[in-house]
Chains A and B, each alone.
Chain A
């Protein structure tokens, strides 16, 4: 369950950010998940809930709700400028699994549909980001 490691990172960061902002209680954590990383949302949500419970020594996370927002993974070729969706790339199961662990290896397995270049930019939807925290001061 590799999602666990990323969930742990999200909770650690949420705690750090809430301290910076002087929050006494977090009510909502919004996490953006890029489709390229192919996170299993149920597993990730479960991990976030469990880790939040385990970290809740000072009740910071007791009432925290987690919102997961997914973002389509869009690539742009640096050579010819073509933009395309990761969903339209033909990636096998093993390659998809590798991309799940390290999304940058998409450059090994994906090519621009127009010019076949591996030199493209992931313009959105790479991986897991902490997008917002709401809470009481």
Chain B
């Protein structure tokens, strides 16, 4: 293993992994600009507008100037698009009154534009543990507003969810993920409702061992979610690959039936057990199979 470039040279399947530009390691703002066409992004309610949460300081917590959520409008493959990105490093990517209002307003305005004949798609970059506990019902209400705005927009234009990790998408924001037109995940990404520690503390370690990372990823991980049809694309942690997967997902357009309306399909899949065992193997290395950048694995429309 001392000569990694030589190893990569003789293993073509590792080339994409070696040459990637990590998306996971970017902050929310950089992710939004990485998804949009280069140089087209314009941020709304940026940090210098100082629209921060008024509820944190009284509880001894330091607020962030953008409340951990960025809204960047620009072009995606030449078409108007708004990216809503959650900053996972601030308060666990939690949704409070302010960050929730920013996301909900962005989706509402996109829906208004789409109704007025100016179609605009939306991308949600989810990196979140869900509702911000310090803001209680205000956070819950914010999630409800996001859901209602998303439901309005998704009938007009695609709303694409992206969960690349390291946190992934949990809690109330995973209901948002469930309503998205299409979901893009990475192997590192996770998608679930109750997080591992919540399950363990509520139901005991025998039910779910939150220290067992293999267990967590075999239940909530990107590969498992893709295999069970809860995600539509599984991509390498590579910014151009994530962007390409989002472009492809938007191009599919508004489906006749959304995943969240296909309860019969989901229920049948649950019964069959198909795909419940996601495959992580890559001959001997224990690495995920690496799709090459720009050629994201995609499910066909309607699957």
Q: Say whether A associates with B.
A: no
